[in-house]
Structure 1
C-alpha cells in the first residue's frame, strides 16, 4: 500500500525537522512526504538533504488566516496524483512513533472493505530539556491524551462519536478520501475544520476507528487557554459549522470566552457575537447547545 504523509506548515521548523527524523527512523517509511507550505519560504532549506525526501506544495495565505483545510486538500490532491493509496495526515507538531505508519497501513488493509477514519493516539509532551527531545525517550515522557480512546498496541476500537475526531494524526485510504470529499475550505484560521470533517465522514457512512500502536507525540509549544488570540477565527468558524450542522462546536471555548465577557449570546439572532463595549447593553444568556 503506497503511503503518503501530508503535513501543512507555516513555521515551526524545529518541530518539522524532528517529525522528518521520526519518519526516517520508523519501521515503514512513506513513499511520499508532502509538506504543504502556507506562505513559508524557508521550508526548502529546512527539508533538503534529509530523509524521507520531502515534496513541497504551495498553499498561498489569504487575509492572513492559515488555510488549514485548503492546505490538507492540496496535499491530498498531490499525493493521490502521484499514486498514494493511503493518506496519513500529521500536524507539524507531531512526531510519529516508530510503528505509526506500519500500524496505519496494517489496519487499512484489515479494514479494506470498510471505509474508516483511522486515528492513532496523541500524547502531549512536556517542554524539552536543553538538549531537546530524543526519539527513543518519547514514549516515556507522556501518556495519550485522556479525552480520546487509547487501545492497546495491536488492538483497534470502533468509535461511536465522530465529534472526537481530530486531525493531529489520522489516516484513510484514497477511496475513503473521495467518499468524504475532503475538508471544507470555508474554514480559515484556527478551529472547526476537523470537527466539520468528522461530521462529513459520519454523514458519508465512514466509520471511526481508534488504532492502538500508532502513537504520535505532540511537541510542546506555549498555548493560552482559552485561546483568546484566536477568538475571531473561532467565532467565525463556529458560526460556519452551526450553519452546516445545526449545533455549536468548540463549546468549551465559547463558554470560556463568554465567562470572560468577550462574547455574548444574541437571543434575537440566535448566535454568538462579540460582546459590546463597556457601558453598552451586554445581556447574555447561554443557548445551552
Structure 2
C-alpha cells in the first residue's frame, strides 16, 4: 500500500503539537513519518518522539523562519512520494490516510471539508466533534481554507513551485499557492471527510496584520494581474485604511489601524497557524 509523509510547522503551539502527534498515532494506517519544522529556536519538545513512526525535526538556522519557507523546508524533506500537510492545531480525520490510499490521481490536490469550531472544542475527539455541533461556527468558505490539510504528490508540489517565499508575514500565501496550482492544471478535490480548525473572529479582516496583508496583496497583483481577497481589501478601503480606488491605482495606505476606535491589537486577535 502507498505510504504518506505527514508535515507540519510549529512555533509556539506546543500543546497542540502533542495533540496532533497523538492523533497521528491513532490513525490507521499511521503516516510513514512526521516532518516537523521548528520556526524558532529549539525547546524541550524538539526531541519529541513517537513509537508509531519516526519524527524528523528540522530546525531554523536564524532567529525565526517565515511560514512559506517553513512549509517548503518541511515538504522538501519528505521521503514518500506523497505528503499530507496539516496545521499543527487541526483536529484531523482518523481515517485520512486510509481514504488517501483510495484517492491517488496525479495532478490533484486532495483536501477535506473544513469546519471552524471554537477553541475549547479542539480538545474533543474528531468523532465527538462530528456529532457535537454546538461549537461549530458558520462562516464563508474559501479555497485557501484547504491549506489546513491537503495532500499531493511531491513532484506536483515542485511543479507548482512550492509556496512563494516573497510572501512574508500574514496573508495571501495560501491564495497564491492554490492560484499557482490551478495555473499548473492541478485540481483541488475534497474527500468525504472533515478537518476541524479554530475559528478566529478577526481572521477575515486582520487589522493586526494590516501592513503584511496589504504588502502581500500587491505582490499577488503583480504576479497574477488581479487582487486577491477583495472582500478584505474593500473593508480596509471602507474603513479608510487604504484608498477606495485601489483596484485601479494600486494600494496606498492612508491610515494605520492603531486608534482606539479600531480593533484592539491583542493576542487573541492574532492569527498564526503555528
TM-score range normalised by the length of the shorter chain: 0.7 to 0.9
Partner residue, 1:3: 4
Work out whether 1:239 is the aligned partner of 2:231: no
State the shift of 1:250 in Å.
1.6
Q: Does 1:218 align with 2:197?
A: yes
Q: CA deviation at 1:11?
A: 1.0
1:134 maps onto 2:125 in alignment: yes
Q: CA RMSD in A?
A: 2.9
Match in the other structure for 2:148: 168
Q: Please, what TM-score do these two structures have when normalized by structure 2?
A: 0.81
Contact persistence 1:4–1:88 (CA under 8 A): yes
In the TM superposition, residue 235 of structure 1 has moved relative to its aligned partner by 0.5
Instruction: Give distance in 1, aligned partners of 2:30 and 2:68.
Output: 25
Structure 2: distance between partners of 1:268 and 1:117: 31
Change (3 A) 1:100 1:61: farther
Q: Secondary structure of the residue that 2:228 maps to in structure 1?
A: coil
Closer, same or farther in 2 for the Cα pair 1:225/1:33, shift >3 Å?
same
| TM-score between both structures, scaled by the size of structure 1 | 0.77
Pair 1:61–1:200, CA change in 2 (3 A): farther
Alignment check: 8 A CA contact 2:117 2:137 kept:
no
Residues 87 and 172, structure 1, Cα contact 8 Å, conserved in 2? yes
How many angstroms apart in 2 are the aligned matches of 1:4 and 1:102?
A: 13
Q: Give ranges in structure 1 of 5+ residues lacking alignment.
A: 150-162, 278-289
SS of aligned partner of 1:96: coil
Distance 2:215 2:101 in 1: 36
CA contact (8 A) 1:122 1:145 kept: no
**Is the Cα–Cα contact under 8 Å of residues 112 and 146 in structure 2 kept in the other structure?**
no
Question: Map of 1:103-252 to 2, 5 A cutoff?
Answer: 103-108=99-104, 111=105, 114-128=106-120, 132-142=123-133, 147-148=140-141, 166-213=146-193, 215-219=194-198, 223=202, 225-252=204-231
Instruction: Give the alignment partner of residue 92 of structure 1, picking from 88, 93, 102.
Output: 88
> Structure 2: any 5+ residue segments left out of the alignment?
257-274
Higher helix share: 2
